[in-house]
A and B are shown apart, each in its own frame.
Chain A
Amino acid sequence: EAAVTQSPRNKVAVTGGKVTLSCNQTNNHNNMYWYRQDTGHGLRLIHYSYGAGSTEKGDIPDGYKASRPSQENFSLILELATPSQTSVYFCASGDTQNTLYFGAGTRLSVL
């Protein structure tokens, strides 16, 4: 009964292709986040959202778009995927004290 579910879990994409990563949460949290994690490194914030209809740029938003159509769903869109976007992507929801609850991650390879 995972509260934050990401799909797909693994994705291979071609350079220049469009990629959409999806995230669904059942925590009823207002805040949601997309991070990427490269091997041996911490998490870098791409986009975040305060609620349905809102998206905010994080620290590394270039090359990414985000969409929050509902409280439960938050998507990350790569319009023109590049090999430098090969990474593990984590979605998270945040409670009122901003403690984050992460999904299992999506491993993306752009060839």
Chain B
Amino acid sequence: QQKVQQSPESLIVPEGGMASLNCTSSDRNVDYFWWYRQHSGKSPKMLMSIFSNGEKEEGRFTVHLNKASLHTSLHIRDSQPSDSALYLCAASDTNTGKLTFGDGTVLTVKP
């Protein structure tokens, strides 16, 4: 049973468009969420993290968190072909600090 569910599995957006990715944890013991980006053949790199309810913006990237529903979303505006990658959501267990990852969303930005 996957504790961190991501949707959609894959997403195609045109260059300059908006990409919206979703992530929900079924484990009530999570407190922090991260978004990682992994380009093909590379290792994952942390993109954004969010610990509090609400919204956090960094450049073209915005993350939302609803702690009551344990749902986070990542929005990428003005998407670029270089944003094409696997986006991984991770949640940490309050008690152990252990990070659990979802299966990811494959984003393709078409020029």
Contact = CB atoms under 8 A, between A and B. Distances in A.
Contacts of A59: 100
A45 B46 contact: no
For the residues of B in contact with A, the DSSP-based class is: strand
Contacts of B45: 102
Interface residues of B, number: 24
Contact of B102 (A42, A48, A56, A97): A42
Nearest to A58: B98
Question: For the side of the interface on A, what is the size category?
Answer: 20 to 34
For the residues of A in contact with B, the DSSP-based class is: strand
Choose among B36, B43, B98, B103 the residue with the greatest number of A CB atoms under 10 Å from its CB: B43
Nearest to B34: A99
B97 A99 contact: no
B43 A48 contact: no
Interface string A34-54: 010000111111001000000
19 contacts: A40-B106, A42-B88, A42-B103, A43-B88, A44-B101, A56-B96, A58-B98, A59-B100, A90-B43, A98-B99, A99-B34, A100-B46, A100-B90, A100-B99, A101-B46, A102-B43, A102-B44, A103-B43, A104-B43
Interface of A: 31, 33, 35, 40-45, 48, 56, 58-59, 90, 94, 97-105
